Amino acid sequence: MNIPDAVTLAEDSRARSELNRWLSGLTASQRAAWALENLAGNHAMSSSFGAQSAVLLHLMTRQRPDLPVLLIDTGHLFPETYRFIDELQERLRLNLKVFTPNLSSAWSQARHGALWQEGVEGIRRYNEIHKVEPMQRALKELDVRTWFAGLRRVQSDSRAGIECLELRDGRWKVHPLADWNDRDIWQYLHKHDLPYHPLWHQGYVSIGDVHSTRPLQAGMLEQDTRFNGLLRECGLQI
């Protein structure tokens, strides 16, 4: 395929659609390699170090070991998540960049209360303070022009339409695993002897903050396990 230049891609949605059709025929590793080679500016990936995060961390750092890995530490992660971060950082030699909210979790709760208990609007406010603002600050401080993330279409209704390559707020957003299903994830982890998050084995299929994450139970969808089913997205990715 004759790939349009970055300016054309940014200005022409039809050109992006054609490119996404071409990218859909590549493997996840090939998509990542293409983006690393062809999309200009500083590159970084984000990770929540959630249930299946080892896949993209491994896939990306095999191609660029020094790729910055952005982690937003909300101050409310599970103890198992912090240990999982330590494990993967040591094993994969990650170039980890940790960003935190401007207020500590205790100070924020003293000022705003337990926002996650105050319905949809409270959850949105919590996410803005503890997740969105730190991520936007991270992207700005590192001048990230191409952002890799592990979103997959099967994860929720709100992610069903994601493309391998999107233009978001003036930067490229790349989803190498966009079309992967859970079996693809399992096969990759098994092939490379990579771990699931420790809480996966206790029924947690989507893992965020302690106060807003539940294990999957009969009759629930994956998206129901976060924010008491009121919201699936925290605002970071969608």
Q: Which of 234, 235, 237, 238 is catalytic?
A: 234
164 catalytic per annotation: no
Which of helix, strand or coil describes residue 25?
coil
**What is the rounded CA–CA span in Å between residue 161 and residue 42?**
26
As given in the structure block, the two tokens for residue 127 are 């996410």
Beta-ladder partners of 208: none
Q: Which residue has the tokens 């191609």?
A: 63
Q: Are 9 and 16 in contact (CB under 8 A)?
A: yes
Strand pairing category for 165-168 and 171-174: antiparallel
The alpha carbons of the chain give a radius of gyration, in whole angstroms, of 18
CA 4 to chain CA centroid, Å, is 27
User: CA-to-CA distance for 20 and 191, rounded, in angstroms?
Assistant: 27
Measure the CA–CA gap between 227 and 208, rounded to whole angstroms. Answer: 9
Work out the angle at residue 27's Cα, subtended by the Cα atoms of residues 37 and 5, and round it to the nearest 5 degrees: 35
Catalytic residue annotation: 234
